[in-house]
Amino acid sequence: MKYGVNENCIGCGLCAGICPEVFSMTDEGVAKAIESEVPAGSESTAAEAKDSCPVGAIEKA
Ligand code: F3S
């Protein structure tokens, strides 16, 4: 499982707060996801981050 962040991101930061193993904030103030597979043990928090994004910017990649 991989995730990506699309152009709808408004930089609220929720995803990086919920699942910092997968999501981080860039210098541009938007989120990015790690390019590799979601680490074992982080699947549920990554899914929670996806579901928590207020603008639906996180998609399965
Ligand atoms: Fe952006 Fe959604 Fe994360 S708005 S910072 S992708 S929770």
For the segment(s) 3-60, the CATH number from 3.30.70.20, 3.40.1160.10, 3.30.360.10, 3.30.70.330 is: 3.30.70.20
Q: Is 4 in the pocket of ligand 1 (CB under 6 A)?
A: no
The ranges of the chain with pLDDT < 50 are none
Tell me what pLDDT residue 30 has: 98
Q: Is the dihedral of CA 38, 46, 60, 11 positive or negative?
A: negative
Q: Is 46 in the pocket of ligand 1 (CB under 6 A)?
A: no
User: What pLDDT, in 10s, does the model give residues 33-50?
Assistant: 999 999 999 999 999 999
ipTM of the complex: 0.98
Tell me what pLDDT residue 11 has: 98
Q: Reduce the secondary structure of 3-57 to three states and give it as a string.
A: EEECCCCCCCCHHHHHCCCCEEECCCCCEEECCCCCCCCCHHHHHHHHHHCCCCC
Domain borders along the chain are 3-60
Tell me what pLDDT residue 3 has: 98
